[in-house]
Structure 1
Amino acid sequence: MLANDSKFLFRIKGSDNEHKVSFSELFFDLVFVYAITQSAHFLIGHFTPYGLFQSLLILLAVWWCWVFTTWVTNWLDPETIPVRLLLFTLMLLGMFVAIAIPKAFEQHGLLFACSYVALQVGRTLFVCIASRRTKPVLHNDFFRMAIWFSVAGLFWITGALQDGTNRTALWTLALGVEYLSASMSFYVPGIGRSDSKKWDISGAHMAERCGLLIIIALGESLLVTGNTFSHTPWNTSTVLAFVSAFVGTVAMWWIYFSLSAERASERITTSERSGHLGRLIYTYVHFAIIAGIVVVAAADEFILAHASGHVGNSMLIASIGGPALYLIGNILFKRLMFNSHPRSHYVGLVLLGCLVPMALFVAPFVLALLTTSVLVIVGTWETVAVRRSDLKQTL
């Protein structure tokens, strides 16, 4: 039945909803922002070199679930009942993934792995069946993906049955299989590889989906910060730390959305390489931006809990590393999309580096104010520079 009616499941080129982000997609995003928040909490509780690596594995897995679903809804129409039900099913599986994150390397490993594998393989098989009759190229692409996700799934589930470093090692191998296969265009001997240059995608839809996820992630970090602050004794240092966290989040929004997001949407929409740009920039580069938001959220919680104490190693790494990772992600985004080198971002990285030795002599809330000031400088500088450039071009 699904295969027979499959042509009605896809977005219609030239229609009003070709580029539209549906309410069901936004509903779906909420689950994965929750998973991202869970990843931040896991990071806070495991801020050691080994814990950082485990946090990276979890966040990479969460991102891979979300971004591949975004690709799917770029082709499939979420306004159709079967696709909408698919999204709701993926939401349920995503909830199990998110719920399992705090104890993923302990007693909830099997729940995490099974839910993750079911989500990845199930969604991919759905597209295989839906595209079999009407979109043979897409069908072959997703058939190759299904093979690779199934192979990785064996390592996920086997790892969940192990303990300690064995689980971490097998899950690292599983993620390596998934990411490496994508970089190899899902090459399968005897079947060939996918050609992203032939992927007919809606660039505007892809750009808006990633932008909305960043907005929701930033908003969720504000909610978590506000909740933490409401349970913290109020004094000068905690109030300043809270204000710094708020202004820093606004600055992060400004750096991404003030100028670049809309222009990027226009660029990828008119590009003849929309599939290639979508794969490179929105599938890979945007992970660094999301990871930066996660680390900044962890830093905000660290500082609110110890606003007037001593800057320890964990707090220093999160406070400097989070904004730095966010700026690096934006540098790559703007470099690859616009072929530009945002000088303000490079200067921001240098300023953050200069704060490292200073952190030994200041209170945590002061460090927060300094890192936030760097983000504000970067956002202001870029806005002024781009406005001046636009003005010169119009004269």
Structure 2
Amino acid sequence: MPTLHHRTRPMTGRDPHEPARTATPLELLFDLTFVVAFGVAGEQGAHLLAEGHVASGIIGFAFSMFAICWAWINFTWFASAFDTDDWFYRVTTMVQMIGVVVLALGLPEMFSSLDAGDRVHNEVMVAGYIVMRLAMLVQWLRAAKQAPEYRATCLAYVRTLVITQIGWAALAVAPVTVPVFFVGGVLLGVAEMAGPVVAERFRTAGAGQKSTPWHAHHMAERYGLLAIITLGEGVIGTVASLSAVVDGSSWTLDAVLVALAGTGLTFGLWWTYYLTPDAELLHRHRERSFAWGYGNILVFAALAGVGAGLHVAGYYLDHESHLGPVATVLAVAVPVLVFVVADYTLFWVLSRSFSPLHLFLVIGTAVVLALAVAVAAAGLGMAWSLLLVMLAPAVSVVGYEVRGHQHVARVLGQALGQEKGA
């Protein structure tokens, strides 16, 4: 019988083999704040690209994606291992949601300062992270106290959070140039990502301590849900592009093609993301979780980048862009290609299996995208170019449904067979 109250209960760690473990309503509520963050980052990046400030737009978008995805990763893996769903846990989650909102509010200032070129103003973003991390520190310390077998691991996370956050705060107030800021940012980013590896793999070695009890199927579902949120940027970008076509006029063939292209592209990317059984492979190969978990940052960034690219196409169709047709199509096509390559790479990371068909499908995707750019260069219309971009994910979908599923079935069968024999 489910618990009907939310009084505090010991944070002893969840069962990593708990049956029917799914995302909670609180986790879904938490994810809603990231809708805002991805939306602001996409709009700001698209605006700079449309203004012709390509370098600052791309760099600002990449920095935003890391900051947003890393905030989500910090909470999500902890929640998979230690979610108690008591009142204290709920309140600290709410505090983290406030931090995400503050982070999102700081994105426009960061983009504009980066474009100005003097220094990077990310003070508000850092303030949002401080709010989030104060709550996370309380949670990690609570787990360290109430779950002794995880104490060393939890305290290793605490040290990483404190040290890196002090570094980010110092970098935010330091009067350094943009290049120096990003050199420091890269070093801090490496430290951020190395911290969990040290905590989970090296801190626990020989110390009689356990690594955090995250749930493989739960994590695969959580990542899939965030992918859907980033795909929402594609829907928003489609609306932006479509509004530019139909604004002040009736529906035309171009309007129909843009609507079909944007919606079909988003749907095709969704289909492609869910082709592989990540949960089963992650459950069998927990040691590959870091490469998979971190690699998905590139997947999320690419999916959000497709939405931003569709925003850029909207600016072009509304005659408010400094970019030409080729650059506009590339703003959509490049993120699509990055997503496809990253998605296949992550399957290899989990399965350690390579099929020549995968290489053929990636090359086929690149050919379709190149054809879309060629159509734009020939002046045949943005709508037709976007329609060709829409067909790029279809290469993987058709290839999987015709032949690729056989390879995936063999890989999955081998993994499950190894697990039963273990």
Q: Give the TM-score band, short-chain normalised.
A: 0.7 to 0.9
Show the counterpart of 1:68: 74
Residue 78 (structure 1) shift:
5.0
Q: Percent identity?
A: 17
Q: Among 397, 400, 412, which residue is 1:379 paired with? A: 397
After TM superposition, list the pairs within 5 Å mapping 1:163-182 onto structure 2: 166=177, 169-170=180-181, 173-182=184-193
Tell me if structure 1 keeps the 8 A contact 2:80–2:213: no
Q: Distance in 2 between matches of 1:171 and 1:286?
A: 22
Please report the RMSD computed on the Cα atoms of aligned residues, expressed in angstroms.
Answer: 3.2
Q: In structure 2, the residue corresponding to 1:46 is in which secondary structure?
A: helix
| Amino acid in structure 1 at the alignment position of 2:364 | V
- Contact 2:241 2:317 survives alignment (8 Å): no
SS at match of 2:354: coil
Structure 2 distance, partners of 1:256, 1:186, is: 26
The code of the aligned residue for 2:344 comes to: I
Aligned residue type for 1:383: E
Alignment CA distance shift 1:314-1:168 (3 Å): farther
How has the CA–CA distance of structure 1 residues 311 and 194 changed in structure 2, closer, same or farther, with 3 Å as cutoff? farther
Report the Cα distance in structure 2 between the residues aligned to 1:184 and 1:69, rounded to whole angstroms.
15
Offset, 1:67: 0.9
Counterpart in the other structure of 2:303: 293
Amino acid at match of 1:150: V
- Residues 41 and 298, structure 1, Cα contact 8 Å, conserved in 2: yes
**Aligned with 1:104: secondary structure?**
helix
Gaps spanning 5+ residues in structure 1: where? none
* d(CA) in 1 for partners of 2:235, 2:371: 27
Q: State how far apart, in whole Å, the 2-side matches of 1:360 and 1:69 are.
A: 45
TM-score (norm 1): 0.84
Shift of 1:306: 2.5
Cα distance in 2 for partners of 1:49, 1:391 equals: 42
After superposition, the Cα gap between the structure-2 partners of 1:104 and 1:308, relative to the gap in structure 1 and judged at 3 Å, is closer
**SS of corresponding position for 2:10:** helix
State the partner residue of 1:7: 10
Of residues 312, 319, 331, the one that matches 1:302 is 312
Name the SS of the counterpart of 2:85 in structure 1. coil
The equivalent of 1:34 in structure 2 is 36
Whole-angstrom CA distance in 1 between matches of 2:153 and 2:374 = 50
Q: Provide Cα deviations, 1:351-392, integer angstroms capped at 9, x if missing partner.
A: 434544443213222221111112222211222113456899
Structure 2: distance between partners of 1:154 and 1:34: 26
Q: Kindly state the Cα deviation for residue 15 of structure 1 after the two structures are TM-superposed.
A: 4.9
AA aligned opposite 2:81? W
Q: State how far apart, in whole Å, the 1-side matches of 2:127 and 2:234 are.
A: 28
Q: Structure 1, residues 73-114: CA drift from partner, whole Å, max 9, x if none?
A: 111225222222221111111111112211225587322111
Pair 1:82-2:95 in alignment: no
With structure 2 as the length reference, what TM-score do the two structures score? Answer: 0.79
Task: Work out the number of aligned pairs and report it.
Answer: 378
CA distance in 1, matches of 2:407, 2:294: 29
SS in 2 for 1:7: coil
User: CA separation of 1:187/1:370 partners in 2, compared to 1, >3 Å: closer, same or farther?
Assistant: same
How much has 1:251 moved relative to structure 2? 0.5
Q: Distance in 2 between matches of 1:388 and 1:136?
A: 42
- Contact conserved, 1:184 with 1:193, CA < 8 A, in 2? no
Which deviates further from its counterpart, 225-234 or 298-307?
225-234
Contact residue 128 and residue 140 of structure 1 kept, 8 A: no
